[in-house]
Amino acid sequence: MRLDVGLMRGYAMLAAAAVFMTVSAPAKAQDWPDSDEARAIAEEGYLYGLPIVMNYAIMYDYAVDRNSGQFKAPFNEINNEARVYTYKDTTIVSPNSDTPYSVAWLDLRAEPIVLSVPAVETDRYYSVQLIDGNTYNYGYIGSRATGNDAGDYMVVGPAWKGETPDGIKKVFQSGTQFSLAIYRTQLFGPDDMPNVEKVQAGYKVSTLSEYQGKPAPAAAPAIDFPKVDKDLIQTNFFAYLDFALQFAPATPVEADMRARLARIGVGPGKSFEFKDLPTGHKAEIAEGMRDGEAKLKEYLGEKLFKANGWSVSDLWGDASFVGGDWIKRAAGASAGIYGNDAAEAVYILGRNAANGDELDGSKQNYTLTFAAGALPPVNSFWSVTMYDGKTQLLIKNPIDRYLINSPMVPSLKKNADGSVTLYIQKDTPGSENESNWLPAPDGPIYLALRMYWPKTGDPSVLPVGKGTWQPPGVEVAK
């Protein structure tokens, strides 16, 4: 996951959603904007709404539909995964295989939710990332943000104005009535999983009334959540946006965007159908959304910082970080929904060698060498993970190794000058170098260098694209 740099596989298709989109109709035909304005609104609305609709689709599969095949737990309960991802996991693309995940979807309508964390040993990284329905990261609990001591933290909805109860270390306010908490707990190696499970057992999710031992308030109204599947999202985009917006109060920066969407009948609680629009209006909406898709692809191609063949992204953060830049927010969701703030984790992505050629394990063997004293500068840990370049999934390989990370450094072979060379190839580099082998697919390669809790001194990868440390290039093996 960004749900670590990843998308729900079926919903990555959203970035290429096609023509026949459901859209609410304006109250009166004469209120419809002229052709150019309608097309422009549809383009903006697509970029504005893409992360919101993607988030809803994931929430539905993870917390609503028990038969989705991806269901994790009901709202306000936690699901712990006592494992890391392997090639057998095909739902999430580009998955993190460093940290077992825990996930809790929060319904904040009736009362706040209390997240309790245990004391975690100081050398083990963990984080709880709080994300609202707009895909903003509005808070963190964990090693970097709050330390490794035990604590109780309260998450409240957008309208909450109550007092902070005794025992609560900090209050986090979500911008939407539904929210997501993603927990990452560092795994040092296969034998360490029982220790991770002990940490996960200490993660608790409680309603405020449960936490205080008081009677629960009246339950929030039941919701008839619209069913989600890939085809329905592609054919009902604006209808899903209508539904999701009712749980996401507009902020001042959104006022103009919401008003413009209303011009084509899009807004909270609307329900008119695309099929009811005149043919010309259908064409305007479809063309506008295609324009949005094209601009998003262009943005992703141009706005990522390039370094030695790698792409370095900085697309995720809170509402002030996005600042109403809807294409930036859409790019973050499209590149990897639920990515961390750069202060928490930096993602460096590679499809190209240092010379610009596309990486392909069927054609070349490669090396990646970190100079002595120049490993990725982090307070916690780093990893280089291998994916199939076509699917962005982990690959089956003879040594069941999907990554090389900093906990493995003591076991890696060092060069005479103290540098460390990773061997990126489909076949073994020989027993003398196998400790440093990152098995590659027999075809296109996709690499992700993750840096958790990057250092801020010198050298540092921060600020993204301007830091003094840059990743070394992947070279063709000599």
pLDDT at 74: 98
In the chain the domains, ranked by start, together with CATH numbers, are: 66-212 (2.60.40.1610), 342-476 (2.60.120.1600)
Q: Does the pTM exceed 0.85?
A: yes
Cα 368 to Cα 31, 355, 424: the distances in Å are 59, 13, 7
Cis, peptide link before residue 459, omega less than 30° from 0: yes
Q: How confident is the model over 361-396, as pLDDT tens digits?
A: 999 999 999 999 999 999 999 999 999 999 999 999
Q: pLDDT tens-digit profile of 102-116? A: 999 999 999 999 999
What is the per-residue pLDDT for 8? 45
The rounded percent of the chain whose pLDDT value lies above 90 is 76
- CA-to-CA dists, residue 194 to 203, 247, 400, angstroms: 15, 39, 20
The token duo for 13 is: 């298709």
Q: What's the pLDDT score for residue 20?
A: 41
Q: pLDDT band at 304, cuts 50/70/90?
A: confident
Confidence band (pLDDT; 50, 70, 90) for 34?
A: confident
Tens digits of per-residue pLDDT, 449-476?
A: 999 999 998 899 999 988 999 999 999 9
| Residue pair 172/130 in contact by the 8 Å Cβ criterion | yes
The tokens of 120 are what?
């975690």
State the residue for tokens 């413009």.
260
Question: Cβ-count burial of 230 within 10 angstroms (0-12 exposed, 13-18 middle, 19+ buried)?
Answer: middle
Question: pLDDT per residue over 120-140, tens digit each?
Answer: 999 999 999 999 999 999 999
Spell out a b/e string for 32-69, using b for 16 or more CB atoms within 10 Å of the CB, else e: bbeeeebbbbbbbbbbbbbbbbbbbbbbbbbbbbeeee
Quick one: average pLDDT of 78-85? 93
% residues pLDDT > 70 (the chain): 91
